[in-house]
Every structure is written in structure tokens, then in C-alpha cells.
Structure 1
């Protein structure tokens, strides 16, 4: 009878130990298991590449404030051209230069008896409908029986002047009188090119009919700058 009691007690102890071992093997209840997952590592990934969940980059966000740098001018970009000055004016807003098409040119004999040289005055009248400026020397050629004779500049200082619409400016042409008694060099016409222009105007010659023949080098005909002669000269 004692042998049966010992065998039953041993069986009960073994069963209790077995039950405890099974309970310890169930997932999520094992002793010593961490209750929270370890924090993610923020260090560099193998090979030097940044960890996927590392610190945010310092690069500016794609939709951040616009840069102050000028827009690129490469392909696909169009640079904004500077604003053009209005027609008939300079970039600073003042009157534009007088063009040949803006002017009416006439030539008049203004020789005064007793003067050492003869004089023709050329008038340039502004009919453009707006003010314009004229400064410097015109180009002047005399057509003669011996060919074209270009006038020389007198060397007087140049002054920029504004010619108001409907008004005129003048310059003088001086040339020696033919007192030799011979036919001299016959003058047949006058060609005038306003300053800074390439378009010329051909006018009738209003002065003496000839120039004296001379052996002196250079042209005996001289011109003054714009504004060097007046209407009464």
C-alpha cells in the first residue's frame, strides 16, 4: 500500500513540472523577454550610406522661398529684354537726332560786299512734327566742272542744339571770289548731308558761278558747324 502512494506522489510532481515548462514556452510570456522594441539606430548604414530613417537633410525644401538669383538664360528660359525708348526719343527721354527726312533744306546767297570771301547759308527746317537735335558739321560737296569738291570744316566748336518743330537752324559755307578775270571752275550744284546721316539732299547753287583756279593744295571751300550762321547772315 505504501508503494502505491509513493508512485502517485511522484507522478503528481512530474505532471506539475511539465505544466510549468509548457507555460514558459508560450510566445509573449517568456521570462526575461523585453517588453518594448529597442530604439532604431540612427547611425550610418554599412558602406557609408545614410540610414533610411536618419536625421533630415539641411537642403532647402523644393517648395521653399524663391531664390534671389537671376533666372537662367539657358534652353527653355527667356530673358526679359530692357524696355525700349519710345520712338522719336533718346534712351534718356530727350529729343531724338534730326534725320534727313525730318528736315527741309534750302541754300541762300548771303555774300556781303567788302567781305574777303563769299558766303552761302544753308537752312535746315524741322518739319517732323516733333523736336529734334542737330549738332556737329554737315557734309558739303560742291559739284563743279572739274568734279566734286568737298568742303573743309572751319574748326569752330560744336554745340548741341534742339530744333523745335517748325523752326530752323543754319550753317555757313564760305568760298573765295573769282577775281582773276578768267572763267575759273564752274559750280553746278550743292550736295548737303546732315550730321550723323547718310542720306543727302542736292540743292541748286545760289552763290557765285565759279571758283578761282588755284595751285594751293586743299579745298578753298569751308563750312561752319550747326548754328554757326543766323537767318540774317
Structure 2
């Protein structure tokens, strides 16, 4: 009886060793069997090379699956933040160039009157110093400060186009006013107030033109302002 027990025990050990050798050895192709753990991890995590680096593709699928290929137009692709369309260009979320703001403009004025002109002319220049493109159009607000009060310029009514100013670029408009040819002291001009189009902040400048306006009862020639881009055109 003891001999039979030893024989059964030896057979059990041999069977166990044979099973272990089959599990740890080759599968007949010269390659080790893959680890079940690493295979599950690859399915759950997706392919790292197809993630945000390929975010510029179209929505061709995989975007709703965990660890998909990331081919949708996400923030790492060609979205509004991905292609830099709004950074440093002055564009808003819709891709339009923002208007020029008072604080971004360098405003200057110079006498632009030519000998023989029936009226005086002043050219007011806006220079873009905001560091990005900006859009400007229409009419600026213009007021002349005088020793008799403020005189508001009237628009000429000329059409006003839209201009895009790159950083450092300038554009000007004309202010025309009646020359004092009466021989009297006239109305002394003490300053020029300019408000860029669609803005509420005003810039105060020294007046570069003739020193006075003629005294009038309101029936004379008014001070006029031309649209943006009208400098040198007489308003």
C-alpha cells in the first residue's frame, strides 16, 4: 500500500511540473504569450500617439469612446485657441477685428492749411499703438474749446469707409474751420477735443491752426469734421 501512495504522489508532482512548463514556455511560434494586464490597459487608455496631437482632424469618429483617437476639433486642434487666431491679432471670438480704442491710439494734430484755401484745415492723426490690429471707421467727435465756450464740429456727410490699422500704422481725418478775416479779435481757440469713433474717452490736444474764429451770429460757416481717412481732402 505504501508503494502505491508514493507512485500517485510522484505522478501528481510530474503532472504539475508539466503544466507549469506549458504555461511559462513558448506557444509554438517562438513568442511569449501576452500579458492580460497590459492588454487591458491598452484598451482602456487608447493610443497615446493619436490623442491631442491629431486634434486638427475632422469629427470622423472615436470622439465618444474612452481613450479614442482624438480626431475631433478640440482645444488642442484648430479651435479658437489652438490656431492662435485671437492671440495678438486683436480679433474677437467671432474672428472679427476689434475696433480701435482711445487708450490704444496716439492722437496728434497739425495745421494742414494751404495758402489760398478759403478755410483753415487741421489734420488729426490716429496712430495704432495697441500692439495688434484694430478697426476704425466713421466720424470722430470733435470740439473746439474757445474763450466763449465749446464749438462742436458738424459732420460733412461724406461716406465713411472701414480701415484696418496694423500696429504702428496711422490714419487721419480733416477738420475745416472758417478763417477770421474780419479784422477783429475774433473768438480765441484754446484747445481741441477729439473722441475716436464709437468711443467715449476724449483726448485733449493743443490747437495747431489759426488762433481765432470769426465772431458770428450762427449764420456763418461752421466748423466741420470729415470721416476717417479724409485728411488732405478738405473735409
Q: TM-score, normalised by structure 1?
A: 0.60
Match of 2:125 in 1: 123
Q: Please provide the CA RMSD for this pair.
A: 2.3
What is the CA-CA distance between 1:215 and the residue it aligns to? 1.7
Q: Report if the CA contact (8 A) 1:169-1:230 is conserved.
A: no
Match of 2:137 in 1: 135
- Tell me the distance in 2 between the aligned counterparts of 1:159 and 1:114: 29
What is the CA-CA distance between 1:216 and the residue it aligns to? 2.8
- Tell me the distance in 2 between the aligned counterparts of 1:113 and 1:219: 19
Alignment of 1:1-233 (within 5 A): 86=86, 88-217=90-219, 220-229=222-231
Structure exhibiting the larger radius of gyration computed from Cα positions: 1
- Tell me the distance in 1 between the aligned counterparts of 2:220 and 2:184: 21
What is the CA-CA distance between 1:86 and the residue it aligns to? 4.4
Unpaired runs of 5+ in structure 1?
Answer: 1-82
The alignment partner of 1:101 has SS state of helix
Q: Report if the CA contact (8 A) 2:111-2:122 is conserved.
A: yes
CA distance 1:219–1:96, change in 2 (3 Å)? farther
CA distance 1:164–1:230, change in 2 (3 Å)? farther
The alignment partner of 1:108 has SS state of strand
- Tell me the distance in 1 between the aligned counterparts of 2:150 and 2:125: 22
Q: Report if the CA contact (8 A) 1:151-1:219 is conserved.
A: no
Q: Report if the CA contact (8 A) 2:97-2:135 is conserved.
A: yes
Q: Report if the CA contact (8 A) 1:192-1:201 is conserved.
A: yes
Poorly superposed stretches of 4+, deviation over 6 Å: none
What is the CA-CA distance between 1:91 and the residue it aligns to? 3.9
The alignment partner of 2:103 has SS state of helix
Match of 1:78 in 2: none
The alignment of Structure 1 onto Structure 2 pairs a total of residues equal to 150
Q: Report if the CA contact (8 A) 1:140-1:193 is conserved.
A: yes
The alignment partner of 2:159 has SS state of coil
- Tell me the distance in 2 between the aligned counterparts of 1:169 and 1:120: 14
Q: TM-score, normalised by structure 2?
A: 0.60
Q: Report if the CA contact (8 A) 1:102-1:126 is conserved.
A: yes
Structure with the largest fraction of helix: 2
- Listed one character per residue, the Cα deviations across residues 168-213 of structure 1 (whole Å, up to 9, x for unaligned) are 0000000011010000000000000000000010000000000001
Unpaired runs of 5+ in structure 2?
Answer: 1-79
